[in-house]
Structures are given as structure tokens and as C-alpha cells.
């Protein structure tokens, strides 16, 4: 689902990890560089001080702060992450495992309040490099990052920067492009199939809009697809029932749950009608557009605006190599 795999909002770079570690330790008042001494001081640091330092670091680093990091070889130590996830996928790591990859249509609407609170437009205006995905920022020189950031700003902020334009950029750069790129890599090297979907359902009761007090046209913000797979009955009114399905939302809950249950059972979202959801082709990048419940045969190729944005991001990453 959203953000799984080759996410554009984080990097496994050791340089990034060092930067965040230094920032965090500074806020909790630890200036040692010895790992054992740092650990000893951390376990005796009050929890509220650690949580406050964590809060500040998260505000300064974007969507996520602490992420897996590529580990160097050390005698007698088994590494958990021995290379960047993108490199591992391209080399065929886990290519024998079937995969379902999903993304929503307007992912970054979920983060609109955070984008406004952090004043992302002001941050980018002060330092244009801030617009780049971290996995580009920490892989090129500062001068190259400045050049790539100008290309990106010219592409997405034509006519002036706005929050809506940044949300569109954020959705494509941090979520949509990485999801489709993961599907492309997997389809290219894998011996098992990968199935792609985009969730764009305008629900009658939108848990994300209600819970975060957001307003935006339609549906499809970050985690909205998950709310129809992990929609627990405890969130419903005491007298409310969702089965048998009575509303469009009930049907979508049944529909999305069925896809994932099927995938666990037969390694395909639709066990009995597999031809109606074909595996993703590395060139066509076909995906299932989920706009209405119970509509199966809606598998389309990546075209138009989505293809243009995919190609732009693809070129941007190639220039960063």
C-alpha cells in the first residue's frame, strides 16, 4: 500500500542517518561519539526528553525521521540492509515472491495541515534543494542538487508556488512514481507476478477527512485504501452493520478486503477471474483503477498525465545517478 517499497520520502543513506542521529542527540544533550556511551546515556535519559527531541527532529526532517540505513560490513555481524532497497530490487531480491502494489490518487492531501504548518513553500523558497526527494539529495553534490531542484520547481511550480501545486508534486514524487517504479523493476526481473492498483474512491463517509478535519474533492488520500481493509467494527455505531453490504462504503470494504484475502490464498487479487486483473507489464505499467466497488474489469495502462509525470521523475533520477 501507500509508501511501501521504494518510497520517495526517505533515504537509506548512511549520511542521512548520521545527520539525523547528530540532530537527535544534540536535542537530548548527548555529545559523545562512542556508541556504548551514547547507549548508556540514552537509557538513563527521561522519556519525556527523548519524546520532545523526537518531535523536534520530525518537524525538521519531513514525513519520517528514523528509517532503515545501509549498513557497512563488520566482522561477525550479519547486516539487515546490505544495500539500498532500489538496488536490491533491481538485482532481483525477492523476485520469486508475488507482490501487490497500491497507491492512492491524491496521497499528499493527507499531509496538507503538516505542509502548511511547516511552511514548506517558505522552506523551499529559502532552500530550493528541500523540494527534492531525500534519496536524490543525499546521492549528489550540492551544486547538482541545486540544478535538479530548479528543474523540478520549473516543472511543478510554473506560474508560482501554491500548496495545491506542492501537494500534487508530493503525491507524484513521494508516492506515485516510487510505487510504479517498484512495479516496473519487479515486473522486469521477477519470475512471479506483480499487481498494481490506484485507489480513487469517493466514499460516503471518509474516515481520513473526518479524522483529520480535511476538505478536498473526491477521495484517495494517503491510507484511504487501508481504511477499507483494516476498517474495524469497533469504529462503527453500536447498531450499525456493514455485512451484508448495504452502502457503497460497505461494498468497498468487502471489495478491498476480498482482494487482499484472495492474494493471501492464491497469490492473485481475483482468484476465479484472473484475466480481469492481469499482472503489471514493465512497459505498459498497467494497473487496476479502483473507483467503484464491484467493478473488476478496469485495468488500464499508464497514460496521459500520469505517464508524463512518471517520465519526468524517471529522467530526474537518471540525471542524479
Longest dimension (CA), the chain: 61
What average pLDDT does the structure give for the chain? 89
- Domain holding 158, by residue range, is 97-320
312, part of any domain: yes
15, part of any domain: no
Q: What are the residue ranges of helices labelled H in the chain?
A: 14-28, 35-43, 47-61, 85-90, 112-118, 120-126, 134-137, 142-156, 163-170, 177-189, 207-212, 248-266, 304-320
> CA 33 → CA 100, 127, 199, distances in Å?
42, 29, 46
187, part of any domain: yes
According to the model, what pLDDT value does residue 281 have?
Answer: 95
According to the model, what pLDDT value does residue 86 have?
Answer: 86
Q: Encode 181-206: b = buried (16+ Cβ within 10 Å), e = exposed.
A: bbbbbbbeebeebbbbbbbbbebeeb
Q: Please say whether the beta carbons of 199 and 103 come within 8 A.
A: yes
Q: What's the CATH code of the domain at 263?
A: 3.40.50.1820
291, part of any domain: yes
Q: What are the residue ranges of helices labelled H in 10-161?
A: 14-28, 35-43, 47-61, 85-90, 112-118, 120-126, 134-137, 142-156
Render pLDDT for 214-238 as a digit per residue (tens, 0 to 9): 999 988 999 999 999 886 665 566 6
29, part of any domain: no
Q: What is the mean pLDDT of residues 22-34?
A: 93
Q: Please say whether the beta carbons of 68 and 80 come within 8 A.
A: yes
Render pLDDT for 246-271 as a digit per residue (tens, 0 to 9): 889 889 998 999 999 999 999 999 99
Render pLDDT for 265-313 as a digit per residue (tens, 0 to 9): 999 999 988 888 999 999 999 999 999 998 777 899 998 999 999 999 9
Number of structural domains the chain divides into: 1
According to the model, what pLDDT value does residue 231 have?
Answer: 67
Render pLDDT for 61-85 as a digit per residue (tens, 0 to 9): 876 788 889 999 999 999 999 998 8
Question: What is the C-alpha separation between 321 and 311, in angstroms, rounded?
Answer: 16
Under DSSP, the state recorded for 100 is E
φ, ψ of residue 199 to 5 degrees: the values are -95, 120
Q: What is the mean pLDDT of residues 52-68?
A: 84
289, part of any domain: yes
88, part of any domain: no
Q: How confident is the model at residue 93 (pLDDT cuts 50, 70, 90)?
A: confident
310, part of any domain: yes
Amino acid at each position: 500500500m501507500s509508501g511501501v517499497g521504494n518510497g520517495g520520502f526517505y533515504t537509506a543513506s548512511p549520511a542521512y542517518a548520521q545527520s539525523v542521529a547528530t540532530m537527535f542527540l544534540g536535542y537530548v544533550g548527548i555529545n559523545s561519539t562512542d556508541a556504548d556511551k551514547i547507549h548508556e546515556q540514552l537509557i538513563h535519559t527521561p522519556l519525556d526528553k527523548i519524546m520532545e527531541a523526537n518531535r523536534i527532529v520530525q518537524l525538521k526532517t519531513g514525513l519520517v525521521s528514523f528509517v532503515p540505513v545501509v549498513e557497512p560490513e563488520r566482522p561477525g555481524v550479519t547486516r539487515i540492509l546490505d544495500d539500498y532497497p532500489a538496488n536490491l530490487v533491481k538485482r532481483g531480491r525477492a523476485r520469486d515472491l508475488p507482490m501487490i502494489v497500491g497507491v492512492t490518487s491524491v496521497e499528499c492531501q493527507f499531509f496538507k495541515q503538516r505542509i502548511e504548518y511547516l511552511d514548506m513553500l517558505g522552506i523551499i523558497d529559502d532552500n530550493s534543494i528541500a523540494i527534492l526527494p531525500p534519496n536524490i539529495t543525499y546521492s549528489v553534490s550540492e551544486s547538482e542538487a541545486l540544478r535538479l531542484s530548479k528543474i523540478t520547481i520549473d516543472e511543478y511550480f510554473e506560474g508560482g508556488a501554491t500548496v495545491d501545486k506542492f501537494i500534487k508534486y508530493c503525491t507524484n514524487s513521494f508516492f506515485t512514481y516510487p510505487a510504479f517504479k517498484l512495479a516496473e523493476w519487479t515486473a522486469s526481473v521477477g519470475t512471479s507476478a506483480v499487481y498494481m492498483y490506484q485507489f480513487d474512491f469517493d466514499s460516503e463517509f471518509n474516515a481520513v477527512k473526518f479524522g483529520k478535519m480535511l476538505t478536498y474533492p473526491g477521495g484517495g488520500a494517503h491510507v484511504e485504501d487501508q481504511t477499507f481493509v483494516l476498517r474495524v467494527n469497533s469504529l462503527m455505531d453500536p447498531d450499525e452493520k456493514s455485512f451484508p453490504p448495504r452502502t457503497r462504503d460497505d461494498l468497498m470494504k468487502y471489495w478491498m478486503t476480498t482482494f487482499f484475502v484472495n492474494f493471501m490464498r492464491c497469490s492473485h487479487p481475483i482468484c476465479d477471474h484472473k484475466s480481469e486483473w492481469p499482472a503489471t507489464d514493465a512497459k505498459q505499467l498497467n494497473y487496476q483503477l479502483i473507483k467503484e466497488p464491484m467493478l473488476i474489469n478496469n485495468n488500464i495502462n499508464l497514460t496521459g498525465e500520469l505517464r508524463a509525470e512518471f517520465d519526468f521523475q524517471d529522467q530526474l533520477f537518471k540525471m542524479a545517478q
